[in-house]
Each structure stands twice: as structure tokens, then as C-alpha cells.
Copies of this chain bind each other. A is one copy, B any other.
Amino acid sequence: MLQFDILQTDPASSDGAYLGSYARRGRLKLNHGVVETPVFMPVGTYGTVKGVMPQSLEDMGAQIILGNTFHLWMRPGLEVMQQFDGLHRFENWHKPILTDSGGFQVWSLGEMRKISEEGVKFSSPVNGDKLFLTPEGSMQIQTTLNSDIVMQFDECTPYVSLDPKSKGQLTTEQEARASMELSLRWARRCQAEFKRLANPNALFGIVQGGMFEHLRDESLAGLEELNFPGIAVGGVSVGEPKEDMQRLMRHCGPRLPANKPHYLMGVGAPEDLVYGVQQGFDMFDCVMPTRNARNGHLFTRFGDLKIRNARHKNDERPIDETCGCYACAGRSGTPYSQGGREGFSRAYLHHLDRCGEMLGPMLSTVHNLHFYLNLMREIRSALDQHAFADLVQRFHADRARGV
């Protein structure tokens, strides 16, 4: 089940000085609940968003989280997933879940895998077992996981050619075309299997085509024939320069079918999210907020902050003075800038990091995820109020200020 309604679009200014963007404010209804878009989806690879309690995720307003099909297939495995009727009850998360197809993970195994028309042969990184993942297999696993959004099995076209004779050259048009066409054929097989399994959830197709606009167009045209209820753009943020990523976002975003949700996979930094919304994307996921938190890299309204830096040793201010998360503002949620003094200081977080204490990553993860979720909340609110252009301007000015 999937129902997608567009509530607002970003209008031009009355004096014509602002032409509007492709940004949309939407509402996505799925089997486990409603998701307000644009939305950021925290990544819960092994059935847990690393370093954070489900309870905190709820409190921060997370609406939908990711699970990784490949990882969950390896551990705990399908038998346990079946026993729990899928991922929701197992991980105690009762709102929507999106699962990827496992394609990106087997592709990332490099030397350990072999791709053919039928699927991908690889050795389990957990126990060395010889395994075979196909479009049909991916659909079967995701049906067992009972995720609200199922992703088609695709081949993620690499930025640098995988041909050993290419000596690190970029993927050629020919290689990218072959890969994109394989993904299209797999899309068709996924759709057939998804239907055969009578999966009650929603299957998304994935636009591939590497760095080539015309291949992206062909991929999109092929997917449109299949009429998936949602469309993703994959194969970005795979090592290409930022300009190429933005070029693809600018090219693909506005061309996606207007009445369907648009998901930009694996992106990105806060700036990328704002840029993506401008190009008409509705859904984003990325490990940055959680992974960076564990490395002491914190996002704030006024730029990023490395808590390991000695300059924080005596700093009594919270990470972000305008932030209402538990780390910055304690239980009351009153930001420091509004007189709240319940948060944890940078000095304390610096100390936790230095001592290798778990509470450091725990508080940092809460903060970073809150920052991402709150940014999307502010974007939705700005779109509701026809004030998105102002938000974009303020966002860039604030982020440039420095923390």
C-alpha cells in the first residue's frame, strides 16, 4: 500500500524575482503509518539505528527508518525474521521501514562477487558460505522483512570502471549502459516476483545510468513503463565529485514523475539534502549523522564541529546553542539561546570522547540525528508557509557563519 499526496509546491514570488524550485511538500501513506515529506530516513543496518534507542528515535520525530536486506539476511537470518513476522516486531519499531535490495552491499564486496544476468554470486562475509542473490531472491527476503517500502534489486553502476584493464579510468558510456540495462531487466523481474508473492507493501524502481544524462533518461523511461508507485535515483554519492552529483540531481529530480515520491539514495550532507529538496526529491537516507557522531563530527546550524578538538576543553556551551535535542537542551528541550541550561557542555562531550566513554557517541548520535530530522521539519514547515526560498538563504548564511 502506498498513497502519495502533494500538499504544496514551492511557488514563485509575486514580484517574479524568485521563480520557485521543484520542492514539494507531501504526505506518504504506508502500511505502518504516515510519513510527511520531504523526509530524512535514519539508517538501521542490522535492525538498529547505531547508538540510539528506538525510544529516542520516536522522541526526535523519526517517521521511517531503513533496514539493510543484505545484512539482515546474513544476521539474524530469515528464520528469525519469519518467526517475528518481519523486521518491525523484531527491532521494536512500529512505524514505516524501507529496506534496500541488498544490491549495493553485494556490489561493495568487490573481488568476492560475480555478477551475471541471473544475479550475483558471492561468498558470505560472515561465514564464507557461497551465496547467490537474484532479483527474485531479494523480493523474497524483503517480503519476509515486511518492509513498507521495498527496493528493486539493481546493479549500482560504479564511478570508476571495474574492468581490470581500465587502470582506474572512469566507467565508460558502454559500461554504464550495460549496467543500466541489466538493472532495468532486473526491475521487471522484481516487479513480477513482488506481484507473485502478493507482497502488500510498495516496490520502488531505481534510476541508474552512471554519470550520463541520456542513460539516466533511458533508465527513467524504462521504469515509467513499469509504473512503480515510487522512483529512486541510485548510483550517486559513489565517489564522484560534488559537481557531478549536483549535475545528476539537477538533471533527474525535475524529470521524475510528478505524482510519485522521489527518493535520492544514500545522500548526504545537510547541504545535499537542501539541494535535493530544491530539485524535487522527497526522501533521503545517509549514514552520515550516525557514523560521523561516533567519530566526534557534529553537525550544527552554524557549521560542523569536531568535538575532539582541544579548543572545546573548557567550553560550557552546548554543541548547538539553538538546538532543542536532549544533548543540547536536556529534557526541557529549551535551547541554550533561549535561556535553557539543561544541556551537556562541549567540555563534557570533549571529555567523554577523550575517555572513550559510550555516552559520547550516544549523545552525539542523538544530536546529529535530531539535527537532520529537525532540518527536514524546518523545510516542511517553510514549504507549508511558502517560505522555502527564505529558508534556503538563511540555511546557507547560518552554516557559513561558523560555530
Contact = CB atoms under 8 A, between A and B. Distances in A.
Contacts of A90: 345, 347-348, 351
A326 B53 contact: yes
Contacts of A2: none
Contacts of A75: 351, 354-355
A51 B359 contact: yes
A359 B56 CA distance: 12
A168 to B, nearest CB: 33
Interface in A297-313: 313
A331 B362 CA distance: 19
Contacts of A357: 46, 48, 50
Given A48-B352, A314-B80, A351-B47, A358 B359 contact: no
Interface string A312-325: 01101000000000
Contacts of A331: 55
A64 to B, nearest CB: 19
Interface string A271-299: 00000000000000000000000000000
A32 B205 CA distance: 59
Query: Copies of this chain, how many?
Result: 2
Contacts of A338: none
Contacts of A47: 348, 351
Interface residues of A, number: 40
A330 interface: yes
A83 interface: yes
Contact of A359 (B48, B342, B344, B350): B48
A83 B312 CA distance: 13
A61 interface: no
Nearest to A331: B55
A160 B343 CA distance: 46
A92 interface: yes
5 contacts: A50-B359, A51-B358, A76-B313, A84-B316, A92-B330
Question: Which 8 pairs across A and B sit closest by C-beta, in order of nearness?
Answer: A76-B351, A48-B359, A46-B355, A51-B358, A48-B357, A92-B344, A75-B355, A90-B348
Given A50-B359, A90-B347, A358-B362, 6 more contacts: A46-B351, A47-B348, A48-B357, A51-B358, A51-B362, A84-B347
